[in-house]
Structure 1
Amino acid sequence: MYAAILNQKLVLAVNEAEQVNRGIKKLNQDYYLCPSCRHRMILILSEDKTPFFKHFYQVKGTGEKEEHSQAKILLCTALKANGIQAEVEVSLLDQQLRADVLVENKLSFEVQCAPLSEEEFNHRHQLYKQINIKDIWIVGKRHYLKKKINQSQEIFLRYSPKWQWYYLEIDPFKCLIRLKYNILKAAISSEIQYDVKTFPLDEEGVAELFLFTPVKKIFKVSDIKDQKKYLQKQLVQKSKIGLKIGSLLYQLHYSIDDIPKELFLQLRKPKDASPILTFLQKKLDD
């Protein structure tokens, strides 16, 4: 749609886009309305098409397909408004790979709203490595981080010197990007701690995200009682980690009480082995 209502007047997408490009106004800071249904619309900038308006879906329960589609468009539009060359749905490697949002042929933002196996993730990640394009994954509602992290979420983690281990989430219906950074995991369980910074999914928000440098924070340590209780549960249930630690305890003639208390307090990087497992293995090797 090439026209919308703004302040009770009809405006053209091409004219609004020109004002954004000239810096007269910020992208989608105005509240555009559909001339037909009077629902909110957003302005979409495109390199290969005339600027246009699109309905902005705010209804909860909207499906993953619409979540994925709208997230890509909003992210690409915000990048373009910052003068960055970006395209949506770009085929690469003779159509073996399709980038959700390709940035200057150097970076791909992959917006993941649907389920994704580790095998498929690794396949796509390796294809990007082949063509020297860095893939950054931004996840939808299904994959949002809470108090624990599971294996299906760990594949989306990325590392940078200033953010440490971080995780990006997108909410196109609220027009937000969330950065969860300084992610650390408890000594033995999958419980995590992290900081959160939220950015508007628009021109200014994306620029702020790229420039964001956090203040260093001291995290609280794990709770000994909870970690010991969790370890005991894993031993009883004979989980994967429980079997590993149980075997080491048996070979060393140790009990849980023989494990140094400070190890239960220790936080670790998300993909690091438990300090307890590392300690017991070292004891056995020595």
Structure 2
Amino acid sequence: MYAALNESGTLIYAQNAKEKGKYFCCRCEKPVKLITTKARKYFRHLNKINNDINEREIHLTGKKIILNLLKEFSNVKTEFFLPTIQQRPDIFLTEQKIAIEYQCALLKINLLEERVLGYHQLGIKSIWILGGNYLDDQIQKKHLKFLNYSDRLGYYIIMLDSKRQIFTVFHHIKFIGPFNHIFFQRQIFQERHLAEVLDFEPQGYRLNPVLMNQHFIRRLRQKNDHNSQQVKLDFFQRHHITVEDYLDNRYFVPIAPIYFYPAWQMACGQSKRLLRQPLLKFKTRKKPPD
């Protein structure tokens, strides 16, 4: 913000503010701090500054944990600059050509795609470990853009709680039911070597198909967003039957967590559009079996 109130309640522009003065937000009246850079001066909420410091501490602690787990490797570099792609991975194994990113801040999909592509162009495998703003004991939609795949883990995501020093591997992630409920299995590692985190062999878990019962039918009837209404209308015009009647008592088998539209829409003719998941893009098997 470019202006704030001083202790007398007078509006002060950042360019005229004094470094040691006390200032308050014009809207919420909470304390703000004057920030001075080479390019400009501006005010920022104190809680934002504290959050930034906390995020940096979480990120730094997480990097130290990962580095400690990789101490047997002699070729581990931190903040190693790759000039060709103008990228600086958190941790880089130069001989193995592996970049490890400990992602704590929210990251837009465009930037994630750009960074994954950059590594791929140099023949570098990138491993993304989530923490900070992404830390959770569940898999949410916001996590799915970081989805990876291996024959051993199926579709998986790795998280690191740097405060508790706990790695969590969410593996064999799937969509189940007509509305793409996210199913996962989970393994927690404490004070383990990173290789064990990546290479453990989980026990398989067989999922049964989900019946489109009356509970799901009621939910489907309540779907009134534009896309759902369009699918319902198009289906009725083509088949002269409602989607609710068509899907009643139908079974939905578990599917890969890679689809943009819910299973009920795809069962009614909607396209199988894929989510933007750059870590899956360059796999030998681009679309592994469900």
Provide TM-score, normalisation by structure 1.
0.67
Q: Which amino acid aligns with 2:123?
A: N
* Pair 93,190 (structure 1): closer, same or farther in 2 beyond 3 Å: farther
> What secondary structure sits across from 1:215 in the alignment?
coil
Asked whether 1:118 is paired with 2:109, we answer: yes
Structure number with the higher helix fraction is 1
Deviation at 1:244, TM superposition (A): 5.0
Q: Is the 8 A contact 1:89 1:100 kept in 2?
A: yes
Distance 1:98 1:212 in 2: 29
Q: Which amino acid aligns with 1:118?
A: I
Distance 1:282 1:173 in 2: 44
- 1:176 pairs, out of 135, 141, 166, with 166
Matches within 5 A, 1:132-143: 132-143=123-134
* Pair 91,244 (structure 1): closer, same or farther in 2 beyond 3 Å: farther
* Pair 262,223 (structure 1): closer, same or farther in 2 beyond 3 Å: closer
- 1:231 pairs, out of 213, 216, 220, with 220
Q: Identify the residue that residue 65 of structure 2 maps to in structure 1.
A: 74
Q: Which amino acid aligns with 1:228?
A: I
Deviation at 1:164, TM superposition (A): 0.4
The unaligned stretches of length 5 or more in structure 2 are 1-51, 272-290
- 2:235 pairs, out of 249, 266, 273, with 249
Asked whether 1:219 is paired with 2:207, we answer: yes
> What secondary structure sits across from 1:261 in the alignment?
coil
Distance 2:67 2:205 in 1: 32
Distance 1:129 1:243 in 2: 40
> What secondary structure sits across from 1:98 in the alignment?
coil
Distance 2:70 2:209 in 1: 38
Q: Is the 8 A contact 2:175 2:182 kept in 1?
A: yes
Distance 2:59 2:103 in 1: 7
Distance 1:119 1:74 in 2: 28
The unaligned stretches of length 5 or more in structure 1 are 1-60
Asked whether 1:92 is paired with 2:78, we answer: no
Distance 1:282 1:63 in 2: 44
Asked whether 1:155 is paired with 2:148, we answer: no
Asked whether 1:206 is paired with 2:197, we answer: no
Q: Which amino acid aligns with 2:212?
A: I
* Pair 187,171 (structure 1): closer, same or farther in 2 beyond 3 Å: same
Deviation at 1:76, TM superposition (A): 1.5
Distance 2:94 2:144 in 1: 27
Identity %: 20
Deviation at 1:147, TM superposition (A): 5.1
Q: Is the 8 A contact 2:135 2:161 kept in 1?
A: no
Deviation at 1:278, TM superposition (A): 3.0
Q: Is the 8 A contact 1:89 1:101 kept in 2?
A: yes
Q: Is the 8 A contact 1:163 1:214 kept in 2?
A: yes
Distance 1:98 1:254 in 2: 56
Asked whether 1:269 is paired with 2:256, we answer: yes
Asked whether 1:130 is paired with 2:117, we answer: no
Q: Identify the residue that residue 23 of structure 1 maps to in structure 2.
A: none
Q: Is the 8 A contact 2:170 2:187 kept in 1?
A: yes
Q: Which amino acid aligns with 2:200?
A: F
- Runs in 1 of length 4+ with deviation above 4 angstroms? 145-148
1:81-140 per-residue CA deviation (whole Å, 9 max, x = no partner) reads 4x3632221111346111111123511111111111111111111111111111111111
Q: Is the 8 A contact 1:73 1:88 kept in 2?
A: no
Equivalent pairs counted in the alignment come to 215
* Pair 145,228 (structure 1): closer, same or farther in 2 beyond 3 Å: farther
Deviation at 1:148, TM superposition (A): 5.6
Structure 1 window deviating more from structure 2 (243-252 vs 168-177): it is: 243-252
- Alpha-carbon RMSD: 2.7
Q: Is the 8 A contact 1:79 1:85 kept in 2?
A: no
Distance 1:229 1:88 in 2: 53
